[in-house]
Amino acid sequence: MSLVTEEIKASASEVYYGDAIGQEKSKFLLTEMGLPNGLLPLEDIIECGYVKDTGFVWLKQKKQKVHKFEKIGKLVQYATEVTAVIEKFKIKKLTGVKSKELLMWITLSEISVDDPPTGKITFTATSGLYRTFPVSAFRIEDVKKDVGGVDLAKDVKKDVGSVDLAKDGQVVEEVKKDVAQVDVAKETQVKEV
């Protein structure tokens, strides 16, 4: 049963339909509230909404998703509907999110950030148990670096000769210094450095 009623939708400040806009708006809202932008890595978002007066937010996706946060080695399960009340540095009354601990899925009810932006993030279960991790484990860095019309995250090969152009989604310093020397082919791929 959905927690998002027609009454809630009618009172929403913002309602968006579609994956691209849903991804953009959910990351923007998380960032605006001082939370890491990779906290809700949902796919195929069909609807998202936000009631500014109460802080109620919802995201609906086509199917349930299990995501592994590589930096901490944790599996998190996202239901087809995720709801919460969001405020500065905190998500409370969270539904639709579970974390795998040992052999069990634990339902999460609250997420809070201490000492933002480089501090710790705490996940609290409905049982009161909690775990704390670095905020950086849930942050997605913007990998697009536009250099002369070239999207390095998409169009540039990772290794040209012996120069490693990308490391963890960011352009290494050596390439930044030599950007002026980059020749771009018609297909926006690097010919040589």
Residues 186, 9: Cα–Cα separation, whole Å: 47
Residues 109, 85: Cα–Cα separation, whole Å: 10
The kind and range of the H/E element at 177 are helix 173-177
- Domain map (residue ranges) of the chain: 6-138, 141-193
Nearest to 130 by CA among 172, 150, 101, 156: 101
pTM equals 0.71
Q: Residue 75: its pLDDT value, please?
A: 96
40-75 confidence digits (pLDDT tens): 999 999 999 999 999 999 999 999 999 999 999 999
Q: What is the mean pLDDT of residues 88-115?
A: 94
| pLDDT band at 189; cut points 50, 70, 90 | very low
Q: List phi, psi (to 5°) of 150.
A: -100, 125
| pLDDT band at 24; cut points 50, 70, 90 | very high
Q: Which residues contact 177 (CB under 8 A, 6 or more apart)?
A: none
Put residue 156 in one of left, alpha, beta given phi > 0 → left and psi -120 to 50 → alpha: beta
Higher pLDDT, 115 or 18: 18
Q: Residue 117: its pLDDT value, please?
A: 64
> 6-138: which CATH topology?
at5g01610, DUF538 DOMAIN (2.30.240)
Side chain identity, residue 118: T
116-137 confidence digits (pLDDT tens): 667 899 999 999 999 999 999 9
142-184 confidence digits (pLDDT tens): 645 444 444 444 433 333 333 333 333 333 344 333 333 333 3
Q: Residue 142: its pLDDT value, please?
A: 62
Q: Residue 77: its pLDDT value, please?
A: 97
Termini Cα distance of the chain:
57
C-beta of residue 65 within 8 angstroms of C-beta of residue 42: yes
